Structure formats: C-alpha cells, structure tokens
C-alpha cells in the first residue's frame, strides 16, 4: 500500500499550493505576466498589482511582460507605464499578436535591449482619440485634455525610440502599422525573436 503523504512536511504543503494555483499564477511565479486585451481599469489594475507583487518578492529579478492588446484608455496606459518606470527590476516586453496604440507605448517602455517582437506580430502607433459629447464648455475641456495626452504620449515615445518629437507627432497623425522589422528600425523593439530566450541561451552555450 502506498504510504499517505505527510501533510505537515514543507514539500507537501508546497505541492498542494501549486496544485491549487491557476496557470496565470504559475506563470507569475516564473515572473511572466500579461497585458491581454483592451487597456482599461480592470486590466491595468490587475497588471499593476502583479508587477508590484513581483517587485516586492524579488526586487532584482527581471519580469517578462507579454503584450497582445489593441490599446485603450490613455489614463490606464500611463498608469501601467509609470508603474513600469517605478520598478527597480528590469521589465522585458514581448509583442505577441499586436501592440497597438497605448499597448505600443507599453512595449517601447520595456528595459532597453529587452524589448522583443515575435515574427508575425504587428505594432501600430497613432494619436489618442475619443468621442467628445456634452455642452460646448465641456467639449472644449475634453479637447484640451486630448491634446495634453497627445503631447505626453508623443514625448514618451520619442524618449524611448530616440526619434525627434516632431517626427513622432507627424507620423502619429494617422494609424501607422509596422511589421516587427519596421518596429525594430523605428526603435520600438530591440530584437525579433522566434524561440524563447531560454532556448536561445541553451543553443548558444552548446556552440
């Protein structure tokens, strides 16, 4: 008869805990987190909490952020951005599928040298937009806020890509789609990857 596991042992408690973890939680244990879908208060809040949790656990270990998002709220995009800059640890960013609008900003905001795109992903940058309704005075206020957001985002994109603000302003007047190669040339990503970084490291060590 197979002996019953000792539930008092640390090994068993760790095993039981891991069995109860979701796939997302298990990946977070490996410091892999996701920005999946529209950027809104829920997705931004969840990601920010996860980033801060991992920072608290190991301030010096890198976090890898996988992005597949059409963008979304400017305020929530900037909340994620500010949190990434606040962290002590490096944040590697990976575009999987698409990184459009604010998501392209998050992709570019990864640690320099650790911003990646997968071969068939796409990146899109443009100016912020929003439907403006209400009384005339309110419309003026909202329009001013959009212009402020546009200025901030253009300056940040210029900072992370090394391109002049004037060029960013001109090229985001309309949707600009980029292939991974174009995004690399633009300065949004540093490398195009087709295998995991761990697998690539093992290949290099074998040579």
Query: What are the boundaries of each domain within the chain?
Result: 31-198
126 is catalytic: yes
Could you give the CA distance from residue 1 to residue 65 in angstroms, rounded to a whole number? 46
101 is catalytic: yes
| Per-residue pLDDT band at 202 (split at 50, 70, 90) | very low
Report the Cα 17 to chain-centroid distance in Å.
28
Q: Which CATH architecture has domain 31-198?
A: Alpha-Beta Complex (3.90)
Residue of 69, 121, 126, 160 with catalytic role: 126
pLDDT at 180 over 70: yes
CA angle 23, 82, 31 (to 5 degrees): 25
pLDDT at 40 over 60: yes
Between 205 and 112, name the one with better pLDDT. 112
pLDDT at 153 over 70: yes
DSSP the chain: -PPPP-TTSHHHHHHHHHHHS-HHHHHHHTTEEEEES-BSHHHHHHHHHHHHHHHHH-TTS-EEEEEEE--B-HHHHHHHHHHHHH-SS-EEEEEEEEEETHHHHHHHTSPTT-EEE-TT-EEEE--------S-HHHHHHHHHHHHHHHHHHHHHHHHHHT--HHHHHHHTSS-EEE-HHHHHHHTS-SEE-SS-HHHHHHHHHH-
Mean pLDDT of the chain: 86
Average pLDDT rounded to a whole number, residues 150-160? 96
Q: Percentage of the chain with pLDDT > 70?
A: 79
Between 133 and 152, name the one with better pLDDT. 152
Per-residue pLDDT tens over the stretch 76-123: 999 999 999 999 999 999 999 999 999 999 999 999 999 999 999 999
Q: Residue 32 forms beta bridges with which residues? A: 64
Per-residue pLDDT at 5 = 44
Residue of 101, 120, 160, 179 with catalytic role: 101
Per-residue pLDDT at 190 = 98
| 127 contacts 175 by C-beta, under 8 angstroms | no
Name the least confident of 2-16, 49-63, 119-133, 165-179: 2-16
């Amino acid at each position: 008869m197979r002996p019953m596991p000792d539930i008092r042992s640390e090994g068993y408690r760790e095993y039981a805990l891991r069995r109860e973890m979701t796939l997302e939680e298990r990946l977070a244990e490996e410091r892999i987190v996701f920005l999946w879908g529209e950027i809104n208060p829920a997705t931004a809040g969840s990601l920010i909490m996860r980033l801060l949790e991992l920072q608290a656990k190991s301030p010096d270990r890198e976090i890898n952020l996988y992005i597949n998002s059409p963008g979304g709220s400017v305020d929530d995009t900037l909340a994620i951005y500010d949190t990434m800059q606040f962290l002590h640890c490096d944040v590697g960013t990976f575009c999987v599928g698409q990184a459009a609008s604010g998501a392209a900003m998050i992709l570019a905001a990864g640690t320099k040298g650790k911003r990646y795109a997968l071969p068939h992903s796409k990146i899109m940058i443009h100016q912020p937009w929003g439907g403006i309704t209400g009384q005339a005075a309110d419309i003026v206020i909202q329009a001013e806020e959009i212009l402020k957001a546009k200025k901030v985002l253009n300056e940040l994109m210029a900072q992370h890509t090394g391109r002049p603000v004037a060029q960013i302003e001109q090229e985001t007047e309309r949707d600009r789609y980029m292939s991974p190669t174009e995004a690399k040339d633009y300065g949004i990503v540093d490398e195009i990857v087709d295998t995991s970084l761990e697998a690539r490291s093992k290949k290099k060590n074998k040579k």
